[in-house]
């Protein structure tokens, strides 16, 4: 939350230059406050696990957030009970007349497929187009980020020679960007993907800015210039054991998989992983909610457009 100080207090300029979140008395007196409406488009097969991880991050803000869950109707989930989906999830037809302050689009395990061959691609494109006028700010994760960059800007994804799998060091490319505020010079992010987006392709799009990067795992966070859309290649929402479960699952299936980088102490799968990324996830999602949803969305949600 911001600190409220007198308009003419000398500390105002100093704190502003240090990127401390401050609010003048004039702005505070005219500010209306209401709960934020956030919708999560959950494309993951393990829906309960994913929704829990994301809700944990959203709960770290003092802001009041009203959350709705969205599923695609053109794909039948095999890993989540229909009872759970019917009770807690909406379809696009049920919410398309609504407005939302923010939306989160998760990843999906369909990386090896061309976008157009994914069975819910047409429905996802419809949701992306709808979001332009009905959602103030959208945060896309992993495959969801790749899909949105492809839909909005034509940016392709590329197959990797081997899975990008582990906890990688990242650096901010714009330390003054509000999404980066509070992060260490080097911060860690889980990556788990078979494909990548490339820096050179993004550099050709004037409306996009890469705001964090890893020399090992490549592009991490991308923003459009209006800061209404964010794209993350990583999984800051992951639990302690998420990569471990993926690793042992692939081993059991006989798939070629290396031990996740920088994850198990001493690279020994018998050792309990040490969490080094949770603070980063909390900061990124709290900054998104605060600076790019709460501070910018219209008080009258019907004015989003």
Indicate which residues carry an active-site annotation.
142, 235, 237
Q: Report how far apart, in Å, the C-alpha atoms of 300 and of each of 21, 36, 67, 70, 303 are.
A: 24, 11, 18, 23, 6
Give dist(CA 100, CA 301) in Å, integer: 7
Rounded distance between C-alpha atoms, residue 292 and residue 91, angstroms: 26
Single out the residue of 120, 106, 197, 126 nearest to residue 160, CA to CA. 197
Cβ contacts of 192 within 8 Å, gap of 6 or more: 142, 163, 164, 165, 235, 238, 242, 243, 246
- Copy the structure tokens of residue 168: 């990688």
Phi, psi for residue 222 in degrees, rounded to 5: -130, 140
HSE at residue 285, side-chain half, CA atoms within 13 A, is 27
Helix (H, G, I), strand (E, B) or coil at 118: coil
């Amino acid at each position: 939350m911001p600190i409220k100080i007198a308009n003419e207090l000398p500390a105002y300029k100093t704190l502003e230059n240090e990127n401390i979140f401050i609010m003048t008395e004039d702005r505070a007196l005219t500010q209306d406050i209401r709960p934020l409406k956030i919708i999560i488009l959950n494309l993951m097969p393990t829906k309960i696990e994913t929704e829990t991880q994301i809700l944990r991050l959203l709960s770290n803000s003092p802001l009041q957030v009203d959350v709705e869950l969205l599923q695609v109707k053109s794909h039948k989930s095999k890993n989540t009970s229909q009872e759970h989906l019917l009770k807690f999830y909406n379809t696009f037809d049920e919410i398309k007349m609504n407005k939302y302050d923010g939306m989160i689009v998760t990843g999906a395990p369909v990386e090896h497929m061309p976008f157009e061959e994914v069975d819910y691609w047409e429905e996802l494109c419809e949701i992306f187009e709808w979001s332009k006028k009905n959602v103030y700010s959208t945060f896309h994760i992993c495959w969801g980020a790749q899909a949105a960059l492809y839909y909005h800007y034509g940016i392709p994804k590329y197959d990797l020679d081997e899975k990008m799998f582990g906890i990688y060091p990242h650096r901010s490319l714009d330390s003054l960007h509000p999404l980066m505020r509070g992060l260490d010079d080097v911060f860690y992010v889980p990556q788990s993907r078979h494909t990548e987006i490339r820096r050179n392709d993004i550099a050709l799009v004037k409306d996009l800015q890469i705001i964090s990067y890893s020399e090992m795992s490549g592009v991490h966070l991308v923003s459009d210039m209006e800061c209404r859309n964010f794209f993350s290649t990583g999984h800051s929402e992951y639990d302690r054991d998420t990569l471990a479960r993926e690793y042992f699952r692939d081993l059991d299936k006989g798939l070629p998989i290396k031990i996740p980088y920088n994850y198990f102490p001493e690279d020994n799968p018998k050792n309990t992983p040490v969490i080094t990324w949770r603070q980063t996830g909390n900061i990124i999602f709290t900054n998104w909610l605060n600076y790019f949803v709460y501070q910018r969305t219209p008080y009258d949600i019907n004015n989003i457009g």
